[in-house]
């Protein structure tokens, strides 16, 4: 049985904000809506102390590569449409783990 792990990161630019609080008010609600709407884990991963940009990351795990890619596609579309920021850099990868774990009685 194969397991697929999809990882997607994006750099969001907010050069017009004047404070970290203002940037957080732009990005945080979008992250919360993504977590509520899609079966992903989401995190703000870099640029937390920068006014002009922030990197966000998302991950999803599933047994079907098409489904994992579909979830990542939907998150990407939502990210482009939802916020008051510019999406400038995207990175995406789907990792495949091939193998079956031994049953508890076999360990």
Q: Provide the β-strand partners of residue 93.
A: 7
Share of the chain above pLDDT 90, in %: 81
Where residue 43 falls among pLDDT bands split at 50, 70, 90? very high
Torsion sign over Cα 15, 21, 22, 25 = positive
Helix 65-82 and helix 20-37: axis angle, to 10°?
140
Which CATH number fits the domain that encloses residue 48? Answer: 3.30.70.1120
Indicate whether 105 belongs to any domain: no
Over residues 22-38, mean pLDDT: 95
Indicate whether 40 belongs to any domain: yes
Indicate whether 104 belongs to any domain: no
**pTM summary value:** 0.85
What is the number of domains present in the chain? 1
Indicate whether 53 belongs to any domain: yes
- Judged by DSSP in three states, 96 sits in strand
Q: Do 16 and 51 contact (CB within 8 A), yes or no?
A: no
Indicate whether 69 belongs to any domain: yes
Indicate whether 106 belongs to any domain: no
Q: What is the pLDDT of residue 99?
A: 72
Beginning with the edge strand found earlier in the chain, give each strand of the sheet holding 86-98 in spatial order: 41-46, 53-62, 2-13, 86-98
């Amino acid at each position: 049985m194969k397991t697929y792990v999809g990882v997607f990161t994006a750099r969001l630019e907010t050069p017009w904000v004047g404070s970290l609080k203002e940037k957080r008010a732009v990005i945080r609600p979008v992250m919360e809506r993504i977590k509520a709407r899609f079966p992903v884990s989401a995190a703000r991963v870099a640029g937390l102390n920068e006014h002009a940009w922030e990197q966000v990351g998302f991950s999803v795990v599933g047994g079907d590569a098409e489904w994992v890619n579909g979830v990542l596609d939907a998150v990407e579309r939502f990210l482009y449409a939802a916020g008051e920021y510019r999406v400038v850099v995207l990175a995406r990868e789907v990792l495949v783990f091939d193998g079956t774990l031994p049953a508890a009685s076999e360990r």
